[in-house]
Amino acid sequence: MGLGAHIAEGLKPVVDLVYPPRCPLCGDATADQGGVCSACWGDLVIPGEPSCNSCGRPFGSDQMDEEALCAPCMADPPKHSGIVAATVYNDASRKLILTFKHGGKISLAGLLGRLLAARLPDPEEEGDAPPLLIPVPLHRWRLWQRGFNQSGLLAKELAKRGKGEVLVDGLVRRKRTPSLGGLGAKERRKTLSGAIAIRESRKAAIKGREVILVDDVLTSGATSDACVSVLLKAGARSVTIACFARVVDSEFDASLHRMSVAET
């Protein structure tokens, strides 16, 4: 444990005294800062098995075999190498995301990152370089308004837990885009056309590497698909998507309706 960690550990009782740890979902007391109480923990839904062999989408039936594909993947095979989600998007995970992004609780990055890291395999100890952890980018104006990129914070948390090497500025969002809620697949692709690119100075670092694309919420997948496309075009060996919460509704309508423009 480094000096900084020793100091933080020593100050923990003082911090807890001044700012008693509270559950970010209900406000009840918790044992640790950034934790969720046992009652609210039960409201978080962890994606289960069986799931799609390509994208990891949970199936509603337990009668599917390990090689089964979901209907979207059969109709339009994805370019990514899989999707890993810490939770299924519901009211509880939505509240955590909103508190994290818009409630000034960036300390929740530790909790969200820990839950996501638990779903990711550890890199091989020998041989190839570890995966690059690249966050979905924000446009510079959005970054200026918010003060941080929530996906970048999650990527850094995953790096702390040994899941890869963070490359926080591997992607850049070249133009502002409106909320994609309510748009069809064709309109989403059109809106995102040319919006995301590889940062020129990072092309060499990405070529030939396995990439984990980090995001907070995966809804339609349009933004992540745009990121995957440019990463593969730049020479990435493979791209896996890792997100804290994933919408699994077959039509997305109900969840997209719950997600306001402010959640982008």
The pLDDT value recorded for residue 142 is 87
What is the per-residue pLDDT across 31-73, written as a single tens digit (0 to 9) for each?
Answer: 566 678 888 889 999 988 788 888 888 876 666 677 788 888 8
HEC-encoded secondary structure of 165-210: EECCCCEEECCCCCCCCCCCHHHHHHHHCCCEEECHHHHHHHCCCE
The pLDDT value recorded for residue 33 is 60
**pLDDT winner (highest mean) among 76-80, 99-103, 237-241:** 237-241
The pLDDT value recorded for residue 231 is 98
More confident residue, 260 or 100: 100
Tokens matching residue 150: 């929530």
Q: What angle do CA 138, 251, 54 make, to 5 degrees?
A: 75
Q: Which helix (H) or strand (E) holds 83?
A: strand 83-88
User: Residue 68 forms beta bridges with which residues?
Assistant: none
Amino acid at 57: R
More confident residue, 177 or 234: 234
The pLDDT value recorded for residue 127 is 66
pTM for the structure as a whole: 0.84
The pLDDT value recorded for residue 91 is 94
236-262: b (≥16 Cβ within 10 Å) or e? bebbbbbbbbbbbeeebeebbeebeee
Q: Is the pLDDT of residue 76 over 70?
A: yes
Mean confidence (pLDDT) of the chain:
82
Residues 6+ apart with CB under 8 A from 11: none
More confident residue, 167 or 51: 167
Q: Which helix (H) or strand (E) holds 258?
A: helix 253-258
Q: Roughly what angle, to the nearest 10 degrees, separates helices 222-233 and 185-192?
A: 50
Could you give the CA distance from residue 113 to residue 218 in angstroms, rounded to a whole number? Answer: 15
Q: Is the pLDDT of residue 259 over 90?
A: no
The pLDDT value recorded for residue 185 is 67
Q: Is the pLDDT of residue 16 over 80?
A: no
102 touches 262 (CB < 8 A): yes
The pLDDT value recorded for residue 183 is 61
Could you give the CA distance from residue 216 to residue 113 in angstroms, rounded to a whole number? Answer: 10
User: Residue 133 forms beta bridges with which residues?
Assistant: 166, 212
The pLDDT value recorded for residue 72 is 84
Q: Is the pLDDT of residue 200 over 60?
A: yes
Of 237, 236, 241, 235, the C-alpha closest to 213 is 241
**% of the chain beyond a pLDDT of 70:** 78
What is the per-residue pLDDT across 116-149, written as a single tens digit (0 to 9) for each?
Answer: 999 999 987 766 789 999 999 999 988 888 899 9
Tokens matching residue 255: 């969840």
Amino acid at 123: P
- Poorest-pLDDT segment among 103-112, 155-164, 165-174: 103-112
Torsion of the alpha carbons at 100, 42, 155 and 81, rounded to the nearest 10: -130
Q: Is the pLDDT of residue 257 over 50?
A: no
